[in-house]
Amino acid sequence: MHIPQTATENLKLLTFQQALELSGQPQQDYDIAKWLYVPPRYEEYRYLLGTRGERPLICVGINPSTAAPDRLDNTLKSVERVAKFNGYDSFLMFNVYAQRATNPNDMERSCNASLHRENWNAFRYALSCSSAPAVWAAWGAIVEKRGYLCDCLRDLTALGRTCGARWFSAGPILKSGHPHHPLYLKKDSLLRPFDMDAYLARLKEA
């Protein structure tokens, strides 16, 4: 379990670029040739976690929990399986908001603009890892937990649009219209195109 110890505005945040540079330094706990972990140590926030490859699948959840290199939780294990089944040689787990919290109800009530800005930079980096970025919408109904999450998602979608991102979902779309969460998906779940513009329009109307 990870329960936030303080508001992220009280933390001395590493910028994404600082954290990325640190992640390229040798680590005792894991192989940096296999793993991308930004920051490269356990913090109250996480920008990226995944494996290195030429054709990564970018999975977008809501917020990170306790997973780390060689210690994937069940959600990340599912992400890795689905990415492999759909022909990707690696995966990158990104989240709409970077604050760690095992229970989304523990997420902070207000968006930290500085954390969101650095998380935006993390998404831009993830998109740059492929000439044709593939992004898996995988947040389920958790996006409803905080009002600012939809605003963050709109910013990320706009960035994805400038980078030519293609959005996908896996598993059945929820009755609420949200894309399915990765947990409990079958390992042979196929990715299907997901219309982010139509989805965001429905969110605005709700």
Q: Using the structure block, give the residue that is written with the tokens 């994937």.
A: 72
- SS3 for 203? helix
* Cα 111 from Cα 146, distance rounded (Å): 9
**How far is CA 94 from each of CA 28, 121, 136, 138, 204, rounded to the nearest angstrom?**
23, 11, 10, 10, 23
pLDDT tops 70 at residue 65: yes
**185-203, pLDDT tens digit by residue?**
999 999 999 999 999 998 8
Position 204 pLDDT exceeds 90: no
pLDDT at 205 over 80: no
Q: How deeply is 128 buried, as exposed, middle or buried, from its count of CB atoms within 10 A (0-12, 13-18, 19+)? A: exposed
Please tell me the number of Cα atoms within 13 Å of 67 on its side-chain side: 27
Instruction: Compute and round to an integer the Cα radius of gyration of the chain.
Output: 16
pLDDT band for 16, please (50, 70, 90 cuts). Answer: very high
Write out pLDDT tens, residues 103-162: 999 999 999 999 999 999 999 999 999 999 999 999 999 999 999 999 999 999 999 999
7-21 mean pLDDT? 97
Beta bridge pairs of residue 134: 57, 166
| Residues in contact with 131: Cβ distance below 8 Å, sequence separation at least 6, in sequence order | none
State mean pLDDT over 5-28. Answer: 97
Protein fold of 19-205: Rossmann fold (3.40.50)
Q: What share of the chain has pLDDT > 70, as a percent?
A: 100
Q: Between β-strands 56-61 and 90-95, what pairing exists: parallel, antiparallel or unpaired?
A: parallel
CA distance 189 to 178: 17
Question: Hey, how many other C-beta atoms are within 10 angstroms of the C-beta on 109?
Answer: 8
Structure tokens at 31: 């192989």
Percentage of the chain modeled with pLDDT above 90: 97
Predicted pLDDT of residue 56: 98
Residue 206 has a pLDDT of 66
| Cα gap 75→65, rounded to integer Å | 10
pLDDT given for residue 203 in this prediction: 86
For residues 151-179, give the mean pLDDT: 97
- Section 96-107 average pLDDT: 97
Angle at 114 between CA 109 and CA 118, to 5 degrees: 115
